[in-house]
Amino acid sequence: MSEHTTNATALADLKVLDLSWALVAPAAMRVLADFGATVVKVESSTRIDPVRAGPPYWRNQPGPERSSNFINYNVNKRMIQLDLSKQAARDVVLRLVDWCDIAIESFVPGVMERWNLHYDALRQRNPDLIMVSTCLNGQTGPDREGGGYGVGGAARAAMIEVLGWPDRDPSLARAYTDYTASRMVAVATLAALDHRRRTGQGQYIDLSQVEASIPFIGAAVLDAGVNGRELRRRGNRQPGAVPHGVFPCAGDDCWIAIAARSQEEWRALCGVAAAGWEADPRFASPDDRERNEDALEEAINAWTGPQDAHALEQQLQAAGVEAHAVLDSLEGDKDAQLQAMHHFVGVESSDLGVIPVENTRQRLSRTPADPRWVGTYGEDNDFVLRELLGLGDDAIAEIAASGALQ
């Protein structure tokens, strides 16, 4: 829809070709779109984006246009359908390469080469192009062609191995690398843009989603590499902070997270609990508490069990203790802090009306983001072909007749 506009100006002169799918790269390019970049999102109904096919769905009604995750990560993008198995579709991509500043893809290594859309070919057409390739294992090495999604990435990055209880199997971390790597992709892309604006030089970014996520368990990795200590699951416990856990409260599946990272916080916790813990020699020092952590957690469980999580949160925070009631998704949606931060905003869909999505994470005071709309399959075909690429009726009809616009 050509009438879609945004008031964001920080990246208003930037043009992006988004050939990616799933979550990592689309989430990263949404950051650029929210700040005013013109982002052309290429996809095909002949091979549906897996995120389109997954719940949760808007109003609990399944459908490829109703995936809340897909909507959330593709705000402010111009949507064009191109079946890249067709040469006519790849020819349109080449025209978009001539037009854009940044191109991004997230296919398994080898796919872009087979289509002759790899960086070396594209920079012949656009010498100062910034191109980003992001996949699970990166573009080089013996496992470069190993595809997969964030669950596999979390396993390879050792995230699943360190999550869970010591006496149980590892806990599934969900697609954790999707949410860590997407931030790295956005920052790396902006760094390359800054470099080009200063030097005139384009760049090629090869970002492994596994590698980009390892720093999030960096302390455990360093401990293994330097000290030879194997990564161990600790449940909710953390060295240097005792207690550090999630404890039951009154009600059905109600919990509170509590941590004491210093003697001062420990004394504050003891003052609120008034259970005589400060006089117990088992809990006198941090080392004592760590040696007797099972007994301490049992005592805290007994104390928190009959109490309201939210009221206890207020008491503990007022005393200077790190404590938060564990929110479910419905409570999170109504959380006063998230509402004050405008964490959720409404965007317009031509099919579904106004839909809530997460707001832009980055807040700039002089050039704020402006998430406005989400497109549907091929909604901007005509706008992209006619207004961005300058094609006429005959050329567009020929492309359509080839079956490329699917």
Among 298, 333, 368, where does a domain finish? 333
Please tell me whether residues 146 and 71 are part of one structural domain.
Answer: yes
Is 162 a domain residue?
yes
Last residue of a domain, one of 279, 304, 333: 333
- Based on the fold, state whether residues 126 and 27 are members of the same structural domain: yes
Q: Report the alpha-carbon distance of residue 135 to residue 23 in Å, rounded.
A: 11
Question: For the whole model, what pTM was predicted?
Answer: 0.92
Say yes or no: 158 and 279 in one domain: no
Kindly report the CATH number assigned to the domain that includes residue 306. Answer: 3.30.1540.10
Co-location of 312 and 359 in the same domain: no
Domain count, the chain: 2
What pLDDT shows up at residue 181? 93
Are 40 and 17 contacting, i.e. CB atoms less than 8 angstroms apart?
yes
Higher pLDDT, 155 or 312: 312
163 plus 311 within the same structural domain: no
What distance in Å separates the CA atoms of residue 364 and residue 374, rounded to the nearest whole number?
Answer: 22
Q: Which domain holds residue 313?
A: 244-333
What is the three-class DSSP state of 245?
A: strand
Tell me the backbone φ, ψ of residue 282, rounded to 5 degrees: -65, -20
406 assigned to some structural domain: no
Encode pLDDT of 247-284 as tens digits: 999 999 999 999 999 999 999 999 999 999 999 999 99
Model confidence at 163, in pLDDT bands (50, 70, 90)? confident
CATH number, position 360: 3.40.50.10540
By the 10 Å C-beta count (0-12 exposed, 13-18 middle, 19+ buried), 204 is classed as middle
325 and 362 both lie in a single domain: no
159 and 264 belong to one structural domain: no
| pLDDT value of position 158 | 83
Is the same domain home to 320 and 198? no
Q: Does residue 20 sit in the same domain as residue 102? A: yes
Residues 278 and 369 in one domain: no
